[in-house]
Amino acid sequence: MDQAYKLNVDLRQMILAIETTVSLVGMNDTNHGKRVGYIASEIGAELDFSEPDIQFAFELGMLHDCGVSTEQMHSNLVNHFDWDGADTHCKIGYRLLHMFEPLSKFAIPILYHHTPWEELQTLDISNYDKRMANLTFLADRIDVLAASHYGTDILLARADIVDAVVRCSGRYFNPEFISAFLDIESSEAFWISLEDRHIARYTWDMGSVPGNQMLSLEQIKHLSLILAYIVDQKSHFTTQHSVRVADLAKYISSIFGLPEERCDKIEIAGLLHDLGKLHVPDDILEKKGPLDKEERSVMNRHSYETYEILRHIDGLEDIARWASYHHEGLNGIGYPFHPEKRDLSIEARIISVADVFQALVQDRPYRKGMSLKQVTDILTEMSESEKLDKEIVSRVINAGESCYAVAMGSDPNKNQEYMRSISS
């Protein structure tokens, strides 16, 4: 493999990327997963957990909400202590992780991380999974009760938070965990460390510590599929958008005869290009008419959010640029970076064309999906204005029927089959 296109990525950094992506759904609060991981690991340390178990608790806390994609679900989870629909995101999280070996150990605890302690005792799962699931549940509810107080009156509100949690001891939470929580919460430092600037630094430091597992190319691709699924569930109008953009980008790359390794990286960038859309309010994505100036300004942030998530992952620097440039034009018209034409690589240009093509054929709230003729007319116009690369558009038009089939998902492959298996 060409060393310039070889991927070598640390699993811990990818876990941080998942947390950062999912936490965007919180809109004004994007540190929930970080805080849950910290709280759980601090309680574990107080109970003299082994170092591997403390790390497990931290990473589980980071991953626990990977099944959350919409504002509505997030709102219900943070506004209700015991919401009847909480098991939905638990089941989605389980399906996302149980088939991915590097993260499969978290699947069962995620499945049961909203199950009360009394009920957990009746389930036929390991004691370890019961304890880790309940530890995450406790950390999650502590943070939900505290979230509105960080940065303002957390040291005054802590007594009410503690009282609410203690009342649930035995029924909802393992009394042993409650006891350990009471020991650590007596320190003001515990509560202050949960505020945004402190928890962000703590998590950054954790991410800079090398993990003990590097991911293979296939594992990175699988994890990218997981992230693509999370993003595309944000709106039913974007179901499978990311995976189809990835498929089409890879197909276009093959038309250009690019080496297999570059095609694989382009595919991964396609899967990850819209991560930042999780920070776009649901009502904007679902709007049936044109966006106004304010809504457009919000939408124009999403590709920068994608960049912010990916740029911190050692080994994905190229992919971060290719993915986040998907709304940039060769003519300088686009967003959010406005790079020079010479800085838009062929990989970034291919992803831009694939993104436009797939978006046009897909039903959206404001229009029906377009025919091949309509798509090629728009692509031609965009290439003539140098919004898109002329040579790439020309080759795509020459292979129009094949590209259309890929963009529509009518040429199924293992990526699409995997997405359907998660949804079933």
Before 290, cis peptide (omega within 30)? Answer: no
Calpha distance 359→82 (Å, rounded): 38
From the candidates 221, 250, 265, 277, give the one annotated as an active-site residue: 277
- Residue 371 per-residue DSSP state: P
What element of type H or E holds 215?
strand 214-215
- Say whether 390 is catalytic: no
Quick check: helix, strand or coil at residue 268? helix
Residues, the chain: 424
Q: Which residues contact 152 (CB under 8 A, 6 or more apart)?
A: none
Are 349 and 330 in contact by the 8 Å Cβ rule? The answer is: yes
Distances from the Cα of 110 to the Cα of 88, 137, 322, angstroms: 11, 9, 32
How would you label 139-158 residue by residue, b for 16+ Cβ within 10 Å and e otherwise? bbbbbbbbbebbeeebeebb
**Position of tokens 């994609």?**
69
Calpha distance 271→266 (Å, rounded): 9
- Residue 9 per-residue DSSP state: E
- Taking alpha carbons only, the member of 359, 363, 356 closest to residue 379 is 356
Q: Which residues are catalytic?
A: 277
